[in-house]
A and B are shown apart, each in its own frame.
Chain A
Amino acid sequence: MSDDILRKIQGIIADQLDVKEDDVKPEKSFTDDLGADSLAIVELVLALEEEFGVKIPDEKVDEIKTVGDAVAFVKANKKKD
């Protein structure tokens, strides 16, 4: 299940930022490693909200700096199936 979430998130990020899925590793920073700007991060947040049915408040968005942060947030907040 958890790997499923990681893989889905990797897919979304790779698609939105036009990077290789293999490069979307948990330790990668959205801005420093994956070429995202502040608007791209907002867009990514919206995509994650839509995919996983979570709500990421604006003040939390600033704390999501790496792929791993995003995965951790989704896992912690996703409603159990």
Chain B
Amino acid sequence: MAERRVAITGIAMITPLGLDAESTWSAIVAGRSGIDRITKFDASDLSAQIAGEVKDFDPTQYFSKKYLRQMDLFIQYALAASFMVLDDAGMSHADARPPAERTGVFVGAGLGGIQTIETSLITMREKGWRRGISPYFVPALIINLAGGQISIFQGLKGPLMSHVSACSSGSHSIGEAFLAIKYNRADVMIAGGSESTITPLSIGGFASARAVSTRNDEPQKASRPFTLSRDGFVMGEGCGLMVLEEWDRAKARGARIIAELVGYGANSDAYHATSPTPDGAGAQACMNLALADAGLAPEQIGYVNAHGTSTAADAIESQAIRRVFGAHSDQGLMVSSTKSMHGHLLGAAGAVEGGLCCYALQRGVIPPTINLDDPDPACDLDYVPHQARQVQVEHALSNSFGFGGTNACLVFKRVEPAPS
């Protein structure tokens, strides 16, 4: 059997920078920050009072308001994004899709419905279990209902799973969907991640672990990967989805192909619950796995969308990148952390960042790292500081590294636009 290739034919995003992929991309190119003080709840008791909130999201554009009580916000994001991503792929009408049985959904998350858990615990204490807990409590919060609701609403009957690997969930979902198509389990996959964890318990938990920035007076400066003054990540929220489609099928229907997914690496550190190995060996090995899967030499990668969370781990990732890319690290390789703008979307991060890599390839623009005012000497790569750069590269690597020491790397390839 000839090897099956995988085209990216649809991208959707809901982020602190915009309610769709195009507005998010525009903000990225402009180097805008989506971080501000938390408005969703009174955070004045917490050490961290800032986050990248999604603004003005109106799910009733996509589905009836009766479903709002049935789904945690991360599921609402995913379901809304599924309409956008199918539309972007030209698959709004079922006749543009393969048979339902050949279309699957892999949508992951890191924490899932923590908001639903928090509010239900309070109402249970107030009213007792019978009146205090909604009959929708369980389906509203479990992670696999993000993909489940997409499958139900869109009528998709292929493989349906949720990959849960903290901040790598989105990348793993896309990588596993890539394999599902390659191994002929499906022809089209909707894949990505969704997250909505700007809640007292979640922010409080990360604050307790001293993982989040407390730069409350300068929210837009708080996510500052690779700087000396970085002091933790800034929580974001939202969703990233892609339509992955078997290459020949996409070509045959004349689909617009945004990029090709050509490599996927997954491994683990086997080291610590929240810290990467100090030498970055896990990250390094994972990047190498993705490059080998793509059959590419390091020099062929033009852009790396780093995990770059604005934590101590930025230096470890930077050194791992340097070891993977050798001399190329100083000879044209561009590396940026778009988390400097949209914050850390946890389980959705890799899916949004993978989408940004596809746009970078398609549009010849490399996203910047903003706030890089005081570079850490231990972070010594070209981070595309402050401003986006117009450069056409052929391949991009997207890095995701999660709590538990779980790593995922994806390699995307530029596609010549079809003659119009």
A residues with a Cβ closer than 8 A to B are 16-18, 39-40, 42-43, 46, 49-50
Contacts and interface: CB of A to CB of B under 8 A. Distances in A.
B66 A18 contact: yes
A16 B134 CA distance: 13
B131 A43 contact: no
B131 A39 contact: no
B64 A43 contact: no
Contact of B136 (A18, A39, A49): A39
Contacts of B210: none
B69 interface: yes
Contact of A16 (B66, B130, B131, B139): B66
Given A16-B69, A40-B66, A43-B134, 12 more contacts: A16-B66, A18-B64, A18-B66, A39-B70, A39-B139, A42-B135, A43-B69, A43-B135, A43-B136, A46-B134, A46-B135, A49-B131
A45 B139 CA distance: 19
A49 to B, nearest CB: 7
Q: Which 10 A/B pairs are nearest by Cβ-Cβ distance?
A: A18-B66, A42-B135, A39-B135, A18-B64, A18-B65, A43-B135, A46-B131, A17-B66, A39-B136, A43-B134
Interface of B: 64-66, 69-70, 130-131, 134-136, 139
Contacts of B131: 46, 49-50
Contacts of B130: 46
B85 to A, nearest CB: 24
A73 to B, nearest CB: 17
Contacts of A42: 135
A58 to B, nearest CB: 10
Contacts of A17: 66
Nearest to B69: A43
A50 B139 CA distance: 23
A50 B132 CA distance: 11
A80 B247 CA distance: 70
Nearest to A50: B131
Nearest to A38: B135
Contacts of B135: 39, 42-43, 46
Contacts of A18: 64-66
A16 B131 CA distance: 16
B145 to A, nearest CB: 13
Nearest to B133: A46
Nearest to A41: B135
Contacts of A49: 131
A15 to B, nearest CB: 9
Interface centre among A16, A42, A46, by most B CB within 10 Å?
A46
Nearest to A19: B66
Nearest to A47: B131
A6 B366 CA distance: 61
Contacts of B136: 39, 43
Interface centre among B64, B66, B134, by most A CB within 10 Å?
B66
A17 B69 CA distance: 11
A43 B18 CA distance: 34
A37 to B, nearest CB: 9
Contacts of B66: 16-18, 40
Nearest to A42: B135
A42 B134 CA distance: 8
A36 to B, nearest CB: 9
Contacts of A46: 130-131, 134-135
Contacts of A40: 66
Nearest to B130: A46
A49 B128 CA distance: 14
A18 B131 CA distance: 21
A18 B60 CA distance: 11
Nearest to B63: A18
Contacts of B69: 16, 43
A77 B2 CA distance: 70
A50 B134 CA distance: 13
Contacts of A16: 66, 69
